[in-house]
């Protein structure tokens, strides 16, 4: 089996000299030094439903005729030269890589990606988020334990999708939140009495809401605008309103070390809007609201600057989920999306929008397929914001629309199968990205567990009742709008108001 293009196979075959797919030079399609050769903007969608969809007729025909893909073919091209060369190399299926879809050949894509065969994402739930602090930059997070935490005007709300249990904590002065990699602790940045503070809350089910020691941070009079944990869960990285980055060592029992042990970096000159680590925590990237993006080496709580990316406006970025050396950076306006290779300091490929009719508002990689999700907002107020799913700079896999205002946050579920989008319209939309609904699975498990739970509760109520009451006092069973879903909204998805 041929995994990549080789030099000894002919670039054309047959009596009409049909060129092979790999004969088209990838370098001729994307050059970082000059504009792309194409004249048509692939990101401009035609006003025709389904124009951008890819139709896989061969897959449909194989299913209809019951053909086995590993042994049967509808149409196969073969020539004498290829047969002779491949027979010398003892290849059983010499042209399998030719008849596969183009995107399966990683040489044809700008980054390593396993895109879905067809656009199958659908809306699973829509949550109302009244008075959410959209003017902050890290106001919502989704933990590996399945909990979503969001900051509202006076409280912090934690809930688990597909359940009716909501936990509310007082958080009037909270400016930023982030779950640790294990999902059992939540870091909260607080700004009160003109001083920045850091609080680490335990969010485990048996001790939820227990706080650690409140720690005052330096510098004073500047709030923490963004924070995140490193991959080990031992450090919390805080970005401040004046551009400073502080690294705080978080101990196991929700404690933080003394202020003098903090490591500070003062390269940014403006408010930090994003901090993200690469998949293996080898690199860290930080961006401010003046368009400066810095890439750093990360070494156990210490940073070493590598390079700087300058944008005319805000720059949004995300690291590739399994290729640690690659990062995608998007200039908001004018739109330019670039794939940057950190060790070589080179732009591998890029896309530049020809029209100035929209801006990029955020982006994120899917951790399973490697597809890049990019959010667009248009200058025409009558046009709805779009969520584009890209498998390459010139390949649009899907376009999703639901929000009425700018989309500012993208979150992935722990298994990477659900996408949550949050916009200025104060709504959170949960998309089922791969078309497999976990709601039915949860209902099935619930039905299976209910008989067992009822029997065990009747037998052991006198033993655990006293402890359960105090813990359940923090939990709110929320059933609002469940009955009004289909009657008033005429919708097929669940609508809950988080109030």
pLDDT tens for 328-358 read 999 988 899 999 999 999 999 989 988 888 9
- Check if the beta carbon of residue 176 is closer than 8 Å to that of residue 224: yes
SS3 489: coil
SS3 364: strand
Q: Which position has the token pair 């060790």? A: 343
Environment class of 496 (CB within 10 Å of its CB; exposed 0-12, middle 13-18, buried 19+): buried
- Check if the beta carbon of residue 413 is closer than 8 Å to that of residue 398: no
DSSP structure string for 202-213: E--TTSTTEE--
Q: What is the mean pLDDT of each run of 10 residues along the chain (499 residues)?
A: 49 48 42 46 50 51 64 56 59 41 54 88 91 89 94 90 84 94 94 92 73 77 94 95 93 59 89 96 96 95 94 92 95 91 91 88 95 94 92 90 94 95 94 77 52 41 30 34 30 36
| Residue 109 pLDDT | 83
Provide long-range contacts, Cβ within 8 A and 24+ apart, for 288-297: 288/243, 289/314, 291/315, 291/331, 292/268, 293/317, 293/329, 294/267, 294/268, 295/327, 295/342
| Residue 80 pLDDT | 59
SS3 467: helix
Alpha helices in 180-289 (DSSP H): none
pTM for this model (two decimals): 0.70
| Residue 211 pLDDT | 66
Structure-block tokens of residue 7: 């030099």
For the CA atoms of 228, 232, 233, 238, the dihedral, rounded to the nearest 10 degrees, stands at -30
Structure-block tokens of residue 421: 């989008």
| Residue 24 pLDDT | 43
- Check if the beta carbon of residue 159 is closer than 8 Å to that of residue 146: no
SS3 87: helix
Do you know the residue count of the chain? 499
| Residue 418 pLDDT | 95
- Check if the beta carbon of residue 188 is closer than 8 Å to that of residue 174: yes
Task: Give a three-class secondary structure readout of 36-73.
Answer: CCCCCCCCCCCCCCCCCCCCCHHHHHHHHHCCCCCCCC
| Residue 182 pLDDT | 93
SS3 289: coil
Task: Give a three-class secondary structure readout of 244-265.
Answer: CEEEEEECCCCCECCHHHCEEE
> What domains are defined for the chain?
122-440 (2.130.10.10)
């Amino acid at each position: 089996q041929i995994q990549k293009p080789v030099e000894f196979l002919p670039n054309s075959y047959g009596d009409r000299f049909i060129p092979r797919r790999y004969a088209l030079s990838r370098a001729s399609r994307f050059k970082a030094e000059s504009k792309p050769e194409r004249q048509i903007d692939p990101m401009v969608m035609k006003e025709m439903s389904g124009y951008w969809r890819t139709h896989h007729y061969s897959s449909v025909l194989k299913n209809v005729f019951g053909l086995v893909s590993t042994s049967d073919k509808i149409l196969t091209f073969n020539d004498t030269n290829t047969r002779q060369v491949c027979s010398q190399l003892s290849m059983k299926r010499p042209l399998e890589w030719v008849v596969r879809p183009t995107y399966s050949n990683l040489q044809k894509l700008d980054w390593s990606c396993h895109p879905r065969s067809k656009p199958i994402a659908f809306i699973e739930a829509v949550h109302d988020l009244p008075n959410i602090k959209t003017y902050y930059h890290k106001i919502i997070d989704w933990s590996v334990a399945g909990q979503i935490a969001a900051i509202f005007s006076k409280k912090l709300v934690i809930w688990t999708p597909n359940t009716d249990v909501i936990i509310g904590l007082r958080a009037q002065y909270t400016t930023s939140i982030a779950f640790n990699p294990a999902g059992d602790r939540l870091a909260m940045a607080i700004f009160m009495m003109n001083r920045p503070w850091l609080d680490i809350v335990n969010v485990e089910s048996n001790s939820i809401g227990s706080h650690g020691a409140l720690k005052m941070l330096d510098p004073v009079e500047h709030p923490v605008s963004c924070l995140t944990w490193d991959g080990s869960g031992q450090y919390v990285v805080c970005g401040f309103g004046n551009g400073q980055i502080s690294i705080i060592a978080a101990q196991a029992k929700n404690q933080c070390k003394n202020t003098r042990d903090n490591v500070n970096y003062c390269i940014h000159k403006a408010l930090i809007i994003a901090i993200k680590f690469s998949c293996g925590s080898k690199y860290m990237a930080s961006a401010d609201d003046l368009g400066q993006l810095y890439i750093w080496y990360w070494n156990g709580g210490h940073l070493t600057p590598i390079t700087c990316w300058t944008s005319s406006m805000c720059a949004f970025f995300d690291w590739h989920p399994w290729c640690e050396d690659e990062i995608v950076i998007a200039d908001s306006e004018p739109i330019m999306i670039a794939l940057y290779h950190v060790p070589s300091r080179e732009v591998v490929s890029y896309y530049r929008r020809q029209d100035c009719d929209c801006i990029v508002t955020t982006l994120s990689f899917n951790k399973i397929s490697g597809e890049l999700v990019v959010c667009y907002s248009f200058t025409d107020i009558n046009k709805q914001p779009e969520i584009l799913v890209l498998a390459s700079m010139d390949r649009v896999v899907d376009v999703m629309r639901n929000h009425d205002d700018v989309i500012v946050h993208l979150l992935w579920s722990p298994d990477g199968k659900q996408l949550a989008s949050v916009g200025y319209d104060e709504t959170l939309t949960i998309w089922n990205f791969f078309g497999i609904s976990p709601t039915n699975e949860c209902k099935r498990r619930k039905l299976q567990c209910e008989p067992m739970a009822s029997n065990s509760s009747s037998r052991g109520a006198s033993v655990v009742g006293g402890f359960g009451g105090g813990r359940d006092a923090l939990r709110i069973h929320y059933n609002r709008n469940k009955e009004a879903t289909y009657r008033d909204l005429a919708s097929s998805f669940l609508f809950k108001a988080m109030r």
